[in-house]
Each structure stands twice: as structure tokens, then as C-alpha cells.
Chain A
Amino acid sequence: MPDHWGFVFAAYGIAAVVLFGYWRRLIRLHAELSALKARREVKR
């Protein structure tokens, strides 16, 4: 029977991109907000 490795790699590839992308987004937003918070505290 045909193995359809292309489909397998597409599924795993998309999963990796989505999960990694979401993780990076959380890290990035956290860093941005931390910086914003630090700047505000300096102003005070």
C-alpha cells in the first residue's frame, strides 16, 4: 500500500510550526510587556 510520507511530514510539519509559533508568540509578548512595565516603573 502507498505510504503517503508527504502527507505524514506535512501533518507533523504543520503541527511543529503551529506549536513552535504559538510558543514563540507567548515568549515575545511576555518580553514586550515586561519591557513596557519596566519603562512605566522608571517613569514613576
Chain B
Amino acid sequence: MSRRGKFLLGGGVIVAALAYMIYAGVSQSVVYFVTPSELRAQPVAGKAYRLGGMVQPASLKWEPRSLDLSFTLSDGKTSVPVRHKGTPPDLFAEGRGAVVEGTWTTEGYFKASLIMAKHSEEYKAPHGDEAQPGYKELLKTLKGQGNP
């Protein structure tokens, strides 16, 4: 293949990828997820959704043996019960944001195939605003106070 041909092929692949991404971007990314209110307004059973909201406090149930996970996603107004089979990511917890991929079922719950934890733009030291917690922890250990 000639040099020019290779470049044309490479360019073609890139243009096609760009076109697809912009198309997919406009139709999908702009409404990356629906809220519980939006889902409740017109739920279609069997349709694939991405649902985003807050994991409602005291709604999380996790069975490590069977990997059965259930919780409620809320947007403050409406909430949707979600069920999933698998281990949730580390940042997934009650009172935090999450986005789940899956389908709405006729039984009245959302069957999630993927759980994603939403992170905030907050970055904080574990113990207040300490610059050198390592040093503090070391001192505590030396004093024999055990784990901080």
C-alpha cells in the first residue's frame, strides 16, 4: 500500500470514528442518564436506560454470598428501586451519587447490569485539613495508642 493510501485509510477511519462519536454524543452523551423522576414519568419495560441519582440512606442491602445488591436511587422527589448482581465499586455508598445501566422491569424495579459510582470534585485529607497525617499517625503509633 502506498504512503498516500495509508494516510487516506487512516484519515478515513478517523473521520468515520469522529462522525460516529459526534452522532452518538449528541444522541446519548447530552442526556447521559435519566433521573428517577424522568424514568417514572414514562417507563418502558425492557428498554435500556442509564439511571442516575443518589443512593438513598438506609436503602442499601448487600448479600456478599449471593452478590445480591439492592438499593433505592433518588433525585429528591422520586425514587426507583434497583437490583443488581455483583460487587459494587469502592466509592459506591449510601448518600453518594451513582449511575446504573440496565433495564426497567415489569415487576417494578430497575435491573442494573453495571453500577458506577459518581465522584464529587472534593479532595480532602482523611483527618480534617491536615497537611501531614502520616507524621501524626506515626506519633500515635509511637505512643502506643494503636490505630488512629
User: What is the minimal beta-carbon distance from A7 to any residue of chain B, in angstroms?
Assistant: 11
Determine chain A's interface SS by DSSP, over half rule: loop
How many chain A residues touch B (Cβ–Cβ < 8 Å)? 3
Summed over the interface, the residue pairs from A and B with CB atoms below 8 Å come to a total of: 3
Closest chain B residue to A3, Cβ basis: B90
Q: Hey, which chain A residues are within 8 Å of B90, CB to CB? A: 1-2, 4
How many chain B residues touch A (Cβ–Cβ < 8 Å)? 1
Closest chain A residue to B126, Cβ basis: A1
Closest chain A residue to B91, Cβ basis: A1
Q: Hey, which chain B residues are within 8 Å of A2, CB to CB? A: 90
Q: How many angstroms from the CA of A8 to the CA of B132 in the assembled complex?
A: 20
Closest chain B residue to A4, Cβ basis: B90
Q: How many angstroms from the CA of A2 to the CA of B90 in the assembled complex?
A: 8
User: What is the minimal beta-carbon distance from A32 to any residue of chain B, in angstroms?
Assistant: 19
Q: How many angstroms from the CA of A2 to the CA of B92 in the assembled complex?
A: 13
Q: How many angstroms from the CA of A41 to the CA of B11 in the assembled complex?
A: 36
User: What is the minimal beta-carbon distance from A10 to any residue of chain B, in angstroms?
Assistant: 16
A-B contact pairs, 3 of them (CB 8 A): A1-B90, A2-B90, A4-B90
